[in-house]
């Protein structure tokens, strides 16, 4: 699964970054509608992991559990208490009040299009939707539940075991694993519907007003928004410090890398009309505030993302055009999830793997993206990019975490045991490198 997502992410990142390199970021270039239409085209299916395929029974169970207050400690809080369908699966406030009566640290994120996510929570600490789904249940400030107790309660319900059995015929039991899978399967169905922007992407030149199109041209050009808000979901899945005031360190403590302090996941821009306020702390009330932040209010500090434009000078008209464009990424009516067929991502791990021992990170991409090595060899990863990276290997056979890898730094990793390893960047999770280590004879 991870490899499948990794390849999809690399492909997308490659396309987008190639476009940036080709001229949008640093120098004025004529707006190329055909190019951007290809970049922002919607997918025709929802990816699902091979170990948790979507079935109607599982999705229905997940939807039911999403609304089930029995998962919480006080029996009054469900996932949907904060992730309200009418509010784009968020809650419309800056920070929800927790069980201790104090505002939570971060804003309730909307749940659109998480099927394509690579990491979860604002600080990206959960590697899968399945893992993410369990954390709020036991968080003492959120649902304050106890999974063991909750599972017992569900199992004692006359109906629930039947529904778990229907959803998981291969493992017909009320278990934490199945609970997580059902919740994740439901959340993967929350695909944002088509909007006027999508109609423009499909070729309808009249779908956008002139100001909206001008806003899009700014978005992918002068304003540089596309550096992070990439692809049809308008997120690069990476974690950036965008210069908001505040003491929340975000990704830094998760990685143990101070260079990633204040970095948070790039949020999707889909259906955001319906999910104000904005940013991880809900501190910005309107799209206008968001645009003004990037133009005028960025807090300067060493951890600022390299993908932030150095300086954006936007006139009042240009700001209004950007806002007009952002509006086109939301439906005119309150959104309902789009129906999109699910498809398990089962691409092979080493179809295009090549023999290599040195990896480039230029343009936020491991290159080559899949390599073959022999046990005992060392891998050299050179940061020839303009951004700080953080190389990680997380697996049963090997665990490795680099410190902040500044531009010019090299990270060396030795692989003593044959096997399959996934190397990622902790700051840019769409950077994935597949390493196949074999014995000399096997190679």
Task: Give the residue with the Cβ less far from other proteins, 67 or 416.
Answer: 67
**Which one of residues 119, 178, 303, 327 is an interface residue with other proteins (CB under 8 A)?**
327
Which residue has 């089930």 as its token pair?
68
CB of 187 to other proteins, least distance (A): 19
- What is the residue-wise DSSP string for 124-187? --BSSHHHHHHHHHH-TTTT---HHHHHHHHHHSSSHHHHHHHH-TTS-S--HHHHHHHHHHHH
**CB of 203 closer than 8 Å to CB of 37:** yes
**CB of 246 closer than 8 Å to CB of 254:** no
CA 319 to CA 290: how far, in whole Å?
10
3-state secondary structure of 265: strand
> Residue 277, interface with other proteins (CB under 8 A)?
yes
CB of 96 to other proteins, least distance (A): 8
**CB of 390 closer than 8 Å to CB of 263:** no
CB of 69 to other proteins, least distance (A): 16
CA 91 to CA 274: how far, in whole Å?
10
Stretch that binds other proteins, among 8-16, 285-293, 294-302, 411-419 (CB under 8 A): 285-293
Q: Which residues partner with 359 through β-bridges?
A: 381
Contacting other proteins within 404-433 (CB under 8 A): none
Task: Give the residue with the Cβ less far from other proteins, 110 or 250.
Answer: 110
> Residue 285, interface with other proteins (CB under 8 A)?
yes
> Residue 312, interface with other proteins (CB under 8 A)?
no
Task: Give the residue with the Cβ less far from other proteins, 65 or 291.
Answer: 291
**Which one of residues 276, 290, 373, 391 is an interface residue with other proteins (CB under 8 A)?**
276
CB of 329 to other proteins, least distance (A): 11
> Residue 109, interface with other proteins (CB under 8 A)?
no
Stretch that binds other proteins, among 1-9, 281-289, 342-350, 375-383 (CB under 8 A): 281-289
Task: Give the residue with the Cβ less far from other proteins, 237 or 271.
Answer: 271
**CB of 314 closer than 8 Å to CB of 291:** yes
> Residue 323, interface with other proteins (CB under 8 A)?
yes
> Residue 19, interface with other proteins (CB under 8 A)?
no
**Which one of residues 218, 273, 322, 425 is an interface residue with other proteins (CB under 8 A)?**
273
CB of 94 to other proteins, least distance (A): 7
> Residue 86, interface with other proteins (CB under 8 A)?
yes
What interhelical angle do 147-156 and 129-138 show, nearest 10? 100
C-alpha 314, offset from chain centre: 28
**Which one of residues 288, 363, 384, 403 is an interface residue with other proteins (CB under 8 A)?**
288
Longest CA pairwise span in the chain (Å):
66
> Which residue in 96, 427, 58 sits closest to 239, CA to CA?
427
Give the number of other CB atoms < 10 A from CB of residue 14. 15
Stretch that binds other proteins, among 29-37, 57-65, 66-74, 320-328 (CB under 8 A): 320-328
**CB of 404 closer than 8 Å to CB of 342:** no
**Which one of residues 1, 60, 63, 93 is an interface residue with other proteins (CB under 8 A)?**
93
User: Torsion over CA of 284, 287, 292 and 297, rounded to 10 degrees?
Assistant: 20
**Which one of residues 200, 274, 294, 421 is an interface residue with other proteins (CB under 8 A)?**
274
CA 262 to CA 283: how far, in whole Å?
14
**Which one of residues 3, 68, 91, 307 is an interface residue with other proteins (CB under 8 A)?**
91
CB of 63 to other proteins, least distance (A): 17
Give the number of other CB atoms < 10 A from CB of residue 335. 25
CB of 76 to other proteins, least distance (A): 15
**Which one of residues 324, 329, 413, 433 is an interface residue with other proteins (CB under 8 A)?**
324
Which residue has 């932040």 as its token pair?
293
> Residues 200, 27, 231, 276: is their CA dihedral positive or negative?
negative
Contact pattern for other proteins over residues 221 through 260, marking x by CB under 8 A = ----------------------------------------
Contact residues for other proteins (CB under 8 A)? 84, 86-87, 91-94, 97, 273-274, 276-277, 285-288, 316, 320, 323-324, 327, 334
């Amino acid at each position: 699964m991870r490899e499948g997502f990794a390849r999809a992410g690399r492909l997308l990142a490659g396309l987008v970054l190639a476009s940036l390199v080709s001229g949008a970021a640093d120098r004025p270039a004529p707006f190329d509608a055909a190019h951007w239409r290809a970049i922002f085209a919607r997918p025709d299916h929802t990816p699902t992991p091979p170990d948790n395929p979507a079935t109607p029974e599982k999705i229905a169970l997940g939807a039911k559990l999403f609304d089930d207050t029995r998962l919480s400690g006080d029996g009054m809080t469900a996932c949907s208490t904060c992730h309200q369908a009418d509010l784009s699966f968020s809650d419309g406030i800056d920070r929800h009040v927790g069980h201790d009566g104090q505002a939570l640290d971060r804003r309730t994120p909307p749940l659109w299009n998480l099927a394509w996510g690579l990491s979860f929570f604002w600080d990206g600490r959960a590697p899968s939707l399945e893992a993410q789904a369990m954390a709020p249940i036991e968080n003492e400030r959120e649902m304050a539940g106890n999974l063991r107790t909750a599972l017992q309660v569900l199992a004692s319900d006359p109906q629930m075991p039947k529904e778990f059995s229907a959803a998981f015929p291969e493992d017909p039991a009320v278990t934490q694993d199945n609970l997580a899978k059902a919740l994740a399967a439901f959340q993967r169905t929350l695909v944002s519907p088509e909007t006027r922007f999508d109609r423009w992407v499909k070729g309808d030149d009249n779908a956008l007003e002139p100001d909206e199109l001008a806003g899009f041209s700014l978005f992918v050009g002068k304003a540089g928004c596309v550096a992070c808000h990439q692809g049809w979901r308008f997120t690069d899945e990476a974690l950036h410090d965008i210069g908001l005031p505040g003491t929340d360190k975000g990704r830094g403590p998760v990685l143990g890398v101070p260079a990633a302090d204040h970095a948070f996941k790039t949020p999707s821009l889909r259906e955001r009309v319906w999910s104000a306020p904005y940013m991880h702390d809900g501190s910005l009330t309107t799209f206008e505030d968001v645009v003004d932040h990037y133009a005028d209010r960025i807090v300067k500090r060493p951890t600022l993302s390299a993908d932030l434009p150095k300086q954006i000078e936007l006139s009042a008209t240009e700001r209004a055009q950007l806002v007009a464009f952002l509006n086109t990424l939301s439906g005119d009516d309150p959104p309902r999830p789009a129906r999109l067929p699910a498809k398990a991502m089962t691409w092979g791990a080493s179809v295009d793997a090549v023999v290599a021992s040195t990896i480039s990170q230029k343009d936020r991409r491991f290159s080559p993206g899949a390599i073959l090595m022999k046990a005992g060899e060392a891998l050299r990863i050179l940061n020839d990019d303009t951004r700080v990276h953080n190389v990680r290997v997380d697996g049963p056979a090997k665990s490795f975490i680099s410190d902040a890898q500044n531009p010019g730094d090299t990270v060396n990793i030795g692989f003593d045991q044959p096997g399959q390893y996934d190397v990622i960047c902790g700051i840019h999770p769409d950077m994935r490198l597949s390493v196949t280590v074999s014995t000399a004879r096997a190679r």
